[in-house]
Amino acid sequence: MSQEQWTAVDQYFTNLLVPADAVLEEALRASDAAGLPQINVAPNQGKLLMLLAQVHQSRTILEIGTLGGYSTIWLARALPSDGHLITLEINPTHAEVARKNIERAGLSSLVEIRIGSALDNLPKIAAEGHKFDLVFIDADKVNTPDYFSWALKMTHRGSLIICDNVVRKGGVIEAGTDDPNIQGIRRFNELLAAEPRVSATAIQTVGVKGYDGFALAYVVAD
């Protein structure tokens, strides 16, 4: 099995199941043009996020790690007209690209971008009393354990917490790794395992983005 084959199969499913979408394509084009890294979720992963939020009937969503707003658009499309999504981004250039992309998507009234380090903004958002039906964690991997702790504070019984990039080409099983990103993800997985308030699983994926995976946690107690 090769990256070439994973990419071809992703292309096959995306062609079949993820209709061509000028707004999303333009969001990626504008992100590229601005020099943003191409680390957005793949189209079929973006659609999975939207489907999960739809099935779950999420009305309030928190995203940690906006980049150019590609996953933001997928998630916000699941919201009802009175829904709300807060997305956190440390890089003002990324946030500005995202703002334009979200505007073009007609989603500005639903989406609030907060610029700054997520660890600075999360306590403020919690202090404002926000509660979220769904949290998507996809920023730096080092602070992912802290993002999960904040997510737990701002969710309720019935909420979903989704965390991207929990496999890192299989690096996640290297207990002695000196890679701080993998250490962060391992610590997150350990918190997830030890947390009685969630029922969780993790899934490996291959595709256009290589070999990685995501974790899904269902908050089963307040």
Query: Binding residues for ligand DHB, per CB under 6 A?
Result: 39, 138, 164-165
Residue number, 1 or 127, with CB nearest to ligand SAH? 127
Residue 41 CA to residue 23 CA, distance in Å, equals 15
Residue number, 102 or 172, with CB nearest to ligand SAH? 102
**Could you tell me the two tokens for 64?**
């940690």
Q: Residue 165 interacts with Mg ion (CB under 5 A)? A: yes
Residue number, 99 or 209, with CB nearest to Mg ion? 209
Half-sphere exposure of 215 (CA within 13 A, CB side): 28
Q: Smallest gap, in angstroms, from Cβ of residue 176 to ligand SAH?
A: 25
Question: Which residues of the chain form contacts with ligand SAH (CB under 6 A)?
Answer: 39-41, 65-67, 70-71, 88-91, 94, 117-118, 138-140, 143
Q: Smallest gap, in angstroms, from Cβ of residue 213 to Mg ion?
A: 10
Which of 164, 183, 184, 217 touches Mg ion by CB under 5 A?
164
Q: Residue 212 interacts with Mg ion (CB under 5 A)? A: no
Residue number, 83 or 214, with CB nearest to ligand DHB? 214
Residue 184 CA to residue 144 CA, distance in Å, equals 6
Residue 146 CA to residue 188 CA, distance in Å, equals 8
Per CB under 5 A, the segment of 19-27, 42-50, 158-166, 202-210 that binds Mg ion is 158-166
Spatial CA neighbour of 156 closest among 216, 202, 197: 197
- Phi-psi category of residue 168: left, alpha or beta, with phi > 0 → left and psi -120 to 50 → alpha: left
Residue with tokens 């701002």: 154
Question: Residue 128: phi, psi to the nearest 5?
Answer: -75, -10
Can you give the binding site for Mg ion, defined by CB under 5 A? 138, 164-165
